[in-house]
Amino acid sequence: MAKVIQVKNLSKAYQLGNFGTGTISRDLERFWAKLRGKEDPFLRIGEVNDRTVKGESDIVWSLRDLNFEIKQGESVGIIGRNGAGKSTLLKILSRVTSPTTGSVKVKGRISSLLEVGTGFHPELSGKENIYLNGAILGMRKAEIKRKFDEIVDFSGVERYIDTPVKRYSSGMYVRLAFAVAAHLESDILIVDEVLAVGDAEFQKKCLGKMGDMSKGEGRTVLFVSHNMGSIVQLCNHCILLNRGIIENEGSPALIVQKYYNQNVQDLSFFGNKNTDIYLKQIFACNAVDEQTSNFSHSEDIHLRIVVGVNKYDPIQNIGLALLTRDKRRVFTVNKAFSEFYTAASKDVTVDFIIEGGMIAPMDYSFLVALNTRTGLVTYDWQEDICPIRIYDDGTEFAFAEGADYGCIILKDKWKVIKN
């Protein structure tokens, strides 16, 4: 597969603070150093872009020594926390700004969509703005003319096409802007989080169109998003940036998991009581025994419960429920404790396994209780513990991540009775 983008030693340093009297003396110093053939003295004091630290220098490395390649036809997702350098990387690839060191070599034409409605002039009508925006994005006038009807059709603002865009609603604005960008004919398309705006229907349309572009037409797509579901759905390769360097790259499902693991906290529960049986420790972990609070939709979730036993009784019962954010129950299970207890044990450790592929991607927490079968005596009751997040790794509802479409994803069963 031919390489279409080759990045070598790419770095970008930014100067913080205001530009003013200080900078001209710096510029002169820099010029003098360059004249003598030495390197820029101020880049040496640059620091890494860590947003949790104030730092001492006012020069920050937004990107530090990036090296990667992208092949033709790949659709690459670039993910990372805020401040990792994703937008800076896209800006350099789009030639909006230039690198401090290193080089990028590109084969083919690049079109970038870093913001919807770039260059829209409020006084001009929708039609005039299609031409202007198209020209800014690099289309020739003949090209725009040829695709004009398609663009207007995709946007759905045909009725208002001759009105100045300052009168458009924000939804119309965004639809028109994306319609122009969606019809760009370029080899490489770069999209930066622009799908964060717009309603669910629009997002679905955009994702669909981008999917067509990469899978159908074989164009190379670079996609930055915080919506992990759409990343996994759309991309076949993923790069994880952290503080200006490439932390990892590989298949989307794996890299998205690594992204979530950047934020692992200890959310386990510890307890101690002198009731007959009590909950000693509870935490969520995955199939390979790693404690985590983030699970992909298709993964099995294990809830590990350690029950301390002071005095065993056959009527003892362990119950468990999965709670939504609103503390409503998704399901409840009950099990007689006698199934797990053996006379030799002091503590009993059990895993409750929720099979993957069932629970919808959302935030949940658990309720674990120890009581008697009849419910008359409660030994221990812990509600709203071990919060977990199930994230979308490519369900059909990826575009609606965050909305409430229910807690269960059913395998749908339809049967035609009459048609």
In 16-100, DSSP assigns E strands to: 47-48, 59-71, 75-80
Exactly one of 38, 71, 109, 329 binds other proteins (CB under 8 A); that residue is 109
> Is residue 127 within the footprint of other proteins (CB under 8 A)?
no
The yes or no reply on residue 106 touching other proteins (CB under 8 A) is yes
Of 391, 387, 371, nearest to 379 by C-alpha is: 371
Dist. CA 368–CA 350, nearest whole Å: 12
Nearer to other proteins, 120 or 154 (CB): 120
Could you give the C-alpha distances from 125 to 23, 118, 153, 157, in angstroms and in order? 42, 15, 16, 12
Q: How far is the CB of 114 from other proteins (least distance, A)?
A: 5
Q: Which listed residue (22, 24, 159, 250) binds other proteins by CB under 8 A?
A: 24
Which residue, among 165, 96, 97, 84, has the nearest Cα to 130 in the 3D structure? 165
Q: Which of 165, 155, 170 is nearest to 129 (CA)?
A: 165
Smallest distance from other proteins to CB 13, Å: 10
Q: Which of residues 147-166 bind other proteins (CB under 8 A)?
A: 164
Q: Which of 68, 131, 340, 341 binds other proteins (CB under 8 A)?
A: 131
Identify which range of 134-142, 224-232, 289-297, 407-415 contacts other proteins by CB under 8 A.
134-142
Instruction: Write down the least CB distance from residue 164 to other proteins, Å.
Output: 8
- Tokens (6 digits) for 168: 């458009």
Query: Which amino acid makes up residue 274?
Result: N
CA–CA distance from 126 to each of 95, 117, 123, 160, 253 (Å)?
Answer: 27, 11, 9, 7, 40
As a whole number of angstroms, the distance between CA 137 and CA 166 comes to: 21
Distance, CA of 136 to CA of 118 (rounded, Å): 8
Partnered with residue 217 across adjacent β-strands are: none
Among 28, 48, 96, 200, binds other proteins (CB under 8 A): 96
Q: What 3-state class would DSSP assign to 409?
A: coil
Q: How far is the CB of 99 from other proteins (least distance, A)?
A: 5
Task: Tell me whether residue 141 or residue 325 sits nearer to other proteins (CB atom).
Answer: 141
Least separation in angstroms between residue 53's CB and other proteins is 22
Judged by CB under 8 A, the number of residues near other proteins is 45
Q: How near is the Cβ of 329 to other proteins at its closest, in Å?
A: 47
18 counts as binding other proteins under rule CB under 8 A: no
Q: Which lies closer to other proteins via its Cβ, residue 17 or residue 216? A: 17
**Shortest reach from residue 236's CB to other proteins, in Å:** 23
Binding site for other proteins (CB under 8 A): 3, 6, 14-15, 19, 23-24, 91-110, 112, 114-115, 118-119, 121, 123-124, 128, 131-132, 135-138, 140-141, 164
